[in-house]
Chain A
Amino acid sequence: QVQLQESGPGLVKPSETLSLTCAVSGGSVSSGSYYWSWIRQAPGKGLEWIGYISDSGSTNYNPSLRSRVSISVDTSKNQFSLKVSSVIAADTAVYYCARDAVMTGVDNWGQGTLVAVSS
């Protein structure tokens, strides 16, 4: 059973860059047929898909965030990462990493990490 675990700062100042990492265990980020994804949830709100990176390194981002988002993968550490630049208060959210099995959708989620944007 694959497990995902997010890590990173819980507080980021406005205009700075939010950086999170998702460590994958019980599976490999290099295995085919999966997209390694980030999804967020603002306090009391619904779910918003941020984007994914594939095992080949191709990426796909939500157009609403594309200019500020970057997802990368480190196969040597079996983890993938998210960067959101020029953050504002509206970027305050619980950030989840997830495995997307493409044809069968998101099947595994990390526990989530709360990131607050505040000075």
Chain B
Amino acid sequence: DIQMTQSPSSLSASVGDRVTITCRASRGITNYLAWFQQKPGKAPKSLIYATSSLQSGVPSRFSGSGSGTDFTLTISSLQPEDIATYYCQQYNTYPLTFGGGTKVELK
């Protein structure tokens, strides 16, 4: 299985801050990388697919980049509604695997 490692596991930031979350795959996954946002008690929401493409309706302050084994999710200006846990997922190889999550909190 491909292992997905996210860092940091948690972070605190202020409204308006630029937030960056990284995700590393144990081997190359080309660009088959997705990001999900999960708020407490809710189902995950799909944010980004194919490393950098936004799902319909996702605000443009979210962006993704990377290739091969190293990927990044960036929130350009953190908003209160962005407080959540974020997961990366590779869909290059089955079984699909997820990162351990990054919890974003307000400072």
Segment of A21-29, A79-87, A105-113 in the binding face: A105-113
Decide if A49 touches B97 in the complex (CB within 8 Å). yes
Q: For the complex, would chain A's binding face be called helix, strand, loop or mixed by DSSP majority?
A: mixed
State whether the Cβ of A48 lies closer than 8 Å to any Cβ in chain B: yes
Q: For the complex, would chain B's binding face be called helix, strand, loop or mixed by DSSP majority?
A: loop
Partner of B44, one of A47, A48, A100: A47
Decide if B101 touches A46 in the complex (CB within 8 Å). yes
The size bracket of the interface on B is 20 to 34
Most chain A beta-carbon contacts within 10 A, residue among B42, B55, B101:
B55
Which B residues lie within 8 Å of A46 (CB)? Answer: 87, 98-101
Decide if A109 touches B45 in the complex (CB within 8 Å). yes
The size bracket of the interface on A is 20 to 34
Which B residues lie within 8 Å of A60 (CB)? Answer: 94
Chain A interface residues toward B at CB < 8 A:
46-49, 60, 62-64, 96, 100-112
Please name 15 pairs of A and B residues whose Cβ atoms are closer than 8 Å in the assembled complex, sorted by A.
A46-B87, A46-B98, A46-B101, A49-B97, A49-B98, A60-B94, A62-B95, A96-B43, A101-B49, A102-B91, A105-B91, A106-B46, A106-B91, A107-B55, A109-B43
